[in-house]
């Protein structure tokens, strides 16, 4: 009996010590697994935060880029609109200038027609020689005036054309 009791005690002690060892090993293993899981969780959390931060920065940069491009588009549109309005204004000015000079030319043409009619009536009068002499001197003077006016107009048009070209280059 004694032998059996001693064997049982030894067996209980060994079983208790093995259970204790198994319990300590199990606790160490659980702690290591828990630490490994915690490290993996921290690593994934860090990657997730980095990914979220990168995505957030990309979104902000996209917003900044879109605002900048919108402003550039708006500025370009405003410049084009101003340029187009300036072009239309130049066309209107040229049109008004042409109409004004056409009106003046028409008035001068009517004046010349009336002068010729008055000259013809004067020729048919009594003193044909005096009239003829006056008429020829007037005709020469009118021709000279017309030639002088033509040269002056050409010079004026050339100066105006040069001024318009310089104005267009600066505009």
* Helix pair angle (128-170, 2-123), 10° resolution: 170
At which residue do the structure tokens 């066309």 appear? 91
For the residues 1-24, what does the mean pLDDT come to?
90
| 78 domain residue, yes or no | yes
The pLDDT, as a whole number, for residue 127 is: 61
Rounded CA separation 112/122 (Å): 15
Q: What is the mean pLDDT of residues 26-55?
A: 96
| Inside any domain, residue 148 | no
Q: For residue 66, what pLDDT is reported?
A: 96
In-domain check, residue 138: no
Report d(CA 82, CA 99) in Å as an integer. 26
CA separation for the pair 19, 81 (Å, rounded): 91
Would the pTM count as exceeding 0.75?
Answer: no
pLDDT in tens, 83-142: 999 999 999 999 999 999 999 999 988 888 788 777 777 666 656 677 677 778 888 998
User: Does residue 5 carry a pLDDT above 90?
Assistant: no
56's tokens: 């957030």
Percent helix, strand and coil across the chain, each rounded to 5? 95, 0, 5
Number of structural domains in the chain: 1
Predicted pLDDT of residue 123: 63
> How far apart are alpha carbons 63 and 55 in whole angstroms?
12
Q: What is the DSSP string of 42-75?
A: HHHHHHHHHHHHHHHHHHHHHHHHHHHHHHHHHH
- Cα 93 from Cα 99, distance rounded (Å): 10
Confidence (pLDDT) at 125? 63
Structural domain that includes position 98: 2-124
100 in a structural domain: yes
In a domain, 141, yes or no: no
Residue 37 has pLDDT above 80, yes or no: yes
Q: Is 144 among the domain residues?
A: no
In the 8-state DSSP scheme, what is residue 1? -
- Cβ(123)–Cβ(135) under 8 Å? yes
Q: Is the pLDDT of residue 38 over 90?
A: yes
Mean pLDDT over each residue of the chain, to the nearest integer: 89
The answer to whether position 169 is within a domain reads no
Q: Whole-angstrom Cα distance, residue 93 to residue 39?
A: 80
In a domain, residue 140? The reply is no
């Amino acid at each position: 009996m004694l032998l059996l009791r001693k064997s049982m005690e030894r067996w209980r002690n060994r079983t208790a010590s093995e259970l204790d060892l198994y319990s300590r090993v199990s606790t160490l293993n659980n702690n290591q697994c828990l630490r490994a899981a915690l490290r993996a969780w921290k690593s994934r959390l860090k990657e997730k935060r980095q990914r979220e931060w990168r995505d957030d920065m990309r979104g902000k940069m996209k917003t900044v880029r879109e605002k900048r491009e919108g402003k550039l588009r708006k500025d370009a549109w405003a410049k084009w609109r101003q340029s187009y309005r300036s072009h239309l204004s130049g066309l209107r000015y040229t049109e008004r200038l042409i109409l004004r000079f056409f009106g003046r030319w028409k008035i001068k043409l009517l004046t010349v027609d009336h002068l010729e009619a008055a000259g013809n009536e004067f020729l048919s009068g009594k003193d044909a020689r005096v009239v003829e002499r006056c008429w020829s001197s007037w005709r020469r003077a009118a021709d000279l005036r017309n030639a002088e006016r033509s040269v002056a107009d050409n010079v004026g048009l050339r100066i105006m054309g040069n001024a318009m070209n310089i104005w267009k280059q600066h505009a």
